[in-house]
A and B are shown apart, each in its own frame.
Chain A
């Protein structure tokens, strides 16, 4: 969606914003809030009325008017059918997705790292399968209580705060936005991570 473009120029308020939603959600809601226009009624009407009271156009005033708040969204403008709008937006999202979300994957003991595109996977099971294939190992099934018990390996990831987290605890979307790199831990270190945390 174009929402991403809006915030690139800001002081990245989004990252520091406190809100109740889970990270990774809320982009769409914010989009809707802006265009829902409950608080944003008639952004240009006030200026129209000002001009109306002046009676005739004032070129200087006009110039200011012709540069409205950048990308201020007006409800129902431009006038194209929702069906058409919706069919274009996914294209943007697809374009962004096509760029991929590559993260490094390290495995303890391996001589070099790999990279995978997280966006290709629809969820944890696929990701884990891919890792298993890539490194020729078995990770097994996730359980909340015991992590990946029964396996020598534990998939972990480094999040935005720099902490190493067990893969699978948080919803997939949240994982996508917070995962910086992956590391497959092995042996006793792995077991330590999976138990009693």
Chain B
């Protein structure tokens, strides 16, 4: 599918899309969304709920007259967040992973933001009218229950598993499928392990907090030695408090940079997987039709041959779109990871420097406190 630049141009600047605020009303999160059209300097602000995002995604899936649509790697939309009280943290973590952590849904908003940016930056998807109305209509489009596309979450039925491992006719795709399976699994694991690290960091910070508070128990003013000892205890309490803040900062850094990045990476690998699966399904369909055609009696053959040609054409279209998408995906995913890694490193470096300075000051104060 060739994209001619003469067609409707991108109307929105992808990088200008921002989720600036989120409010919670019971179970419902409302997101404030701002973006800017390419040809104007004015920003537009709209309010959306999750269902609106879902509507957008479904609309993208179900675009008609878009040949090779199935070959597109659709930017992954995060799952719906359920902020209600009954949803314990464990459930939230299972459902959303990293996006459940962090203050005030920051990570979740960021993930939604990325989603929109990816859609707006996609050469084909950005042209979808639904995106325009999503971004610029003051009225929420989600009220119209969109048609469910055919691309809902793939269930892992046994049959699907069998299809997934169907041998490919094209080496390029076979390789890609293998690599993708591998990477998807590995990035999922890495995300989970990082989540474990962050959770433990938070637990440790909490333990430090308890210790720091308990040191206040030892304050006793009775005599000089008790005063001296109390001072030491209070000093230690301050130090442990600093350690706690350090851990919290480190955990939050991990969360907001690398955590987010790995989460995105992992979901994108899944998106690619879904695309490759769709193509594989088409391949199987094609092969089945071919076999049928071969076995067919002469009278039916012509019809079947025509049908086969149609399927083949579809398959080829999908494959060629897929190829482009794969290449685009490879270079962008490297870029995305690079930015996350740099961001992560910089923020951790700053935190380390900040706390080295703080510890150094505490040390100085301690040494001066007790002249000997």
Are A and B interaction partners?
no
B residues whose Cβ falls under 8 Å from a Cβ of A: none
A residues whose Cβ falls under 8 Å from a Cβ of B: none
